[in-house]
Structure 1
Amino acid sequence: MTKRFAAVTAALCASLLVLAGCSSSGEKTARPGGDLVFARAADATTLLPPTTTQNEDIWTLQQVYETLTLNKPDGSGVEPGLATDWEESKDKMSWTFHLREGVKFHSGKTLDADDVVFSLNYARDQEDENNLWAAEFDPIKDVKKVDDHTVRIDLKQPWGPLPSYMALFAASIYPDDFGGHDAEYMAAHADGTGPFEVGRWNKGQSLELVKNPDYWQDGVPSLDSVTFNVVADDNTRRLQLQGGQADINQEPAPLSMSQLSRSQDINAQAFTSTKILYFNINNKEKGLDDPKLRRAMSYAVDRKSIVEVVYAGYAEPATSFISPGLAGHADKVDSSQFDMEKAKQLVKESDHPDGIDITIQIPSGVADRELLAQIAQQAWQDIGLTVHVQKLDDATLTTNRTNGDFQVQVSYATSDVSDTSQMINFLAVTDDSGVRSGYANPDVEKWAEQAVAEEDPEKQNQLYAQIQQQVADDAPIVPIAYQRALYGMSRDVVGFEPYVLGTYGLKETKLKH
Structure 2
Amino acid sequence: MAIYSADTWDVCDDIVAVDDSTVNFIKKEGIGKNLIERELMKVALLPEHIWAPMMETMEEAEIRQFENFDPVGSGPYKVYYYDDTRVVFIRDDNFWGQAESMWGKLPEPKYIAHVIFKDNSANTTAMQAGEIDYNENFIPQIWKLWENGEPYHAYLNDLPYYEPGMLVSLYFNLTTPGLDNPDIRRAIGYAINYPQIIELAMSGYSPDVVPSLLMPDEMEKYLIEDDELKSLRWTYDPDKANEILDGLGAEKGSDGIRVLPDGTRLGFWGLECPKGWSDWTSSLEIVAQSLKAVGIDAGSELPEQSVWLNHSQTGEFDMIMQRPAAYLDPSQPYARCKFIMDGSNTPALGEQSFENYNRYNNEEATKLVQQIAITEDEEELKKLYTALDKIYLTDIPVLTLMYRPLTFYSVYEGVWTGFAQEGDGTGIPGLACFPYTSYKMLYELKPAE
TM-score, normalisation: structure 1? 0.66
CA contact (8 A) 1:374 1:389 kept: yes
The residue that corresponds to 2:167 in the other structure is 276
CA contact (8 A) 2:90 2:110 kept: yes
Q: 1:465 to 1:232 in 2, by over 3 A?
A: farther
**For 2:276 and 2:68, how far apart are their aligned partners in 1?**
27
Q: 1:374 to 1:493 in 2, by over 3 A?
A: same
Following superposition, the deviation at residue 358 of structure 1 comes to 0.7
**For 1:437 and 1:471, how far apart are their aligned partners in 2?**
14
**For 2:379 and 2:388, how far apart are their aligned partners in 1?**
14
CA contact (8 A) 1:290 1:350 kept: no
2:240 corresponds to 1:342:
yes
2:21 corresponds to 1:123:
no
Following superposition, the deviation at residue 224 of structure 1 comes to 1.8
- Residue by residue over 1:349-380, the C-alpha shift from the partner in whole angstroms, topping out at 9 and shown as x without a partner, is 39962413211112333332222111110111
**For 1:318 and 1:436, how far apart are their aligned partners in 2?**
22
Q: Which runs of 5 or more residues in structure 2 are unaligned? A: 55-62, 99-104, 155-160, 251-258, 347-352, 421-427
CA contact (8 A) 2:86 2:116 kept: yes
**For 1:364 and 1:162, how far apart are their aligned partners in 2?**
35
Following superposition, the deviation at residue 415 of structure 1 comes to 4.4
**For 1:317 and 1:275, how far apart are their aligned partners in 2?**
13
CA contact (8 A) 2:341 2:369 kept: no
Give runs of aligned pairs for residues 425-444 of structure 1, distance below 5 A. Answer: 425-429=338-342, 431=346, 432-434=353-355, 436-444=357-365
CA contact (8 A) 1:287 1:293 kept: yes
Question: One-letter code of the match for 2:408?
Answer: L
More strand by percentage: 1
2:14 corresponds to 1:143:
yes
Q: 1:396 to 1:226 in 2, by over 3 A?
A: farther
- Residue by residue over 1:192-213, the C-alpha shift from the partner in whole angstroms, topping out at 9 and shown as x without a partner, is 322333343435x433333233
**For 2:115 and 2:26, how far apart are their aligned partners in 1?**
39
The residue that corresponds to 2:349 in the other structure is none
CA contact (8 A) 2:342 2:361 kept: yes
Q: 1:123 to 1:213 in 2, by over 3 A?
A: farther
**For 2:29 and 2:162, how far apart are their aligned partners in 1?**
38
Equivalent residue for 2:182, pick from 268, 291, 298:
291
**For 1:385 and 1:190, how far apart are their aligned partners in 2?**
49
Following superposition, the deviation at residue 507 of structure 1 comes to 5.2
The residue that corresponds to 1:473 in the other structure is 394
**For 2:133 and 2:299, how far apart are their aligned partners in 1?**
37
CA contact (8 A) 1:242 1:266 kept: no
Q: 1:404 to 1:299 in 2, by over 3 A?
A: same
CA contact (8 A) 1:261 1:268 kept: yes
Following superposition, the deviation at residue 166 of structure 1 comes to 4.3
Q: 1:256 to 1:445 in 2, by over 3 A?
A: same
Question: One-letter code of the match for 1:267?
Answer: Y
Give runs of aligned pairs for residues 231-250 of structure 1, distance below 5 A. Answer: 231-250=117-136
Q: 1:392 to 1:256 in 2, by over 3 A?
A: farther
The residue that corresponds to 1:214 in the other structure is 94
Question: One-letter code of the match for 1:194?
Answer: G
2:197 corresponds to 1:306:
yes
Equivalent residue for 2:409, pick from 477, 480, 487:
487
2:137 corresponds to 1:251:
yes
TM-score, normalisation: structure 2? 0.75
The residue that corresponds to 1:131 in the other structure is none
Q: What is the aligned-residue RMSD (CA, Å)?
A: 3.0
**For 1:382 and 1:443, how far apart are their aligned partners in 2?**
35
Question: One-letter code of the match for 1:145?
Answer: V
Equivalent residue for 2:289, pick from 364, 378, 386:
378
**For 2:66 and 2:270, how far apart are their aligned partners in 1?**
36
- Residue by residue over 1:164-200, the C-alpha shift from the partner in whole angstroms, topping out at 9 and shown as x without a partner, is 32453x3212133645442354655433322333343
Q: 1:158 to 1:488 in 2, by over 3 A?
A: closer
**For 1:428 and 1:500, how far apart are their aligned partners in 2?**
29
Q: 1:501 to 1:335 in 2, by over 3 A?
A: farther
Question: One-letter code of the match for 2:388?
Answer: I
Following superposition, the deviation at residue 263 of structure 1 comes to 4.5
The alignment-based identity, stated in percent, is 17
Following superposition, the deviation at residue 463 of structure 1 comes to 1.2
With 262-271 and 147-156 compared, the bigger mean Cα shift is at 147-156
CA contact (8 A) 1:268 1:486 kept: no
Following superposition, the deviation at residue 479 of structure 1 comes to 0.6
Look up the SS of the partner of 1:363 in the other structure: coil
2:157 corresponds to 1:157:
no
CA contact (8 A) 1:356 1:385 kept: yes
CA contact (8 A) 2:32 2:375 kept: no
2:447 corresponds to 1:512:
yes
**For 2:409 and 2:31, how far apart are their aligned partners in 1?**
40
Q: 1:173 to 1:338 in 2, by over 3 A?
A: same
Q: 1:225 to 1:213 in 2, by over 3 A?
A: same
CA contact (8 A) 2:35 2:373 kept: no
- Residue by residue over 1:430-454, the C-alpha shift from the partner in whole angstroms, topping out at 9 and shown as x without a partner, is 6443251222221111111212222
2:137 corresponds to 1:264:
no
Question: One-letter code of the match for 1:314?
Answer: Y
**For 2:441 and 2:94, how far apart are their aligned partners in 1?**
16
Q: 1:466 to 1:496 in 2, by over 3 A?
A: farther
2:74 corresponds to 1:175:
no
The residue that corresponds to 2:215 in the other structure is 323
Q: 1:407 to 1:209 in 2, by over 3 A?
A: farther
Look up the SS of the partner of 1:252 in the other structure: coil
**For 2:249 and 2:379, how far apart are their aligned partners in 1?**
36
**For 2:192 and 2:214, how far apart are their aligned partners in 1?**
18
Question: One-letter code of the match for 1:164?
Answer: E
Following superposition, the deviation at residue 238 of structure 1 comes to 1.8
Q: 1:455 to 1:123 in 2, by over 3 A?
A: closer
Q: 1:506 to 1:442 in 2, by over 3 A?
A: same
Q: 1:448 to 1:197 in 2, by over 3 A?
A: same
2:78 corresponds to 1:193:
no
- Residue by residue over 1:407-444, the C-alpha shift from the partner in whole angstroms, topping out at 9 and shown as x without a partner, is 22223353421222112122332644325122222111
Q: Which runs of 5 or more residues in structure 1 are unaligned? A: 1-45, 51-119, 125-136
Question: One-letter code of the match for 2:341?
Answer: A
The residue that corresponds to 1:111 in the other structure is none
CA contact (8 A) 1:223 1:507 kept: no
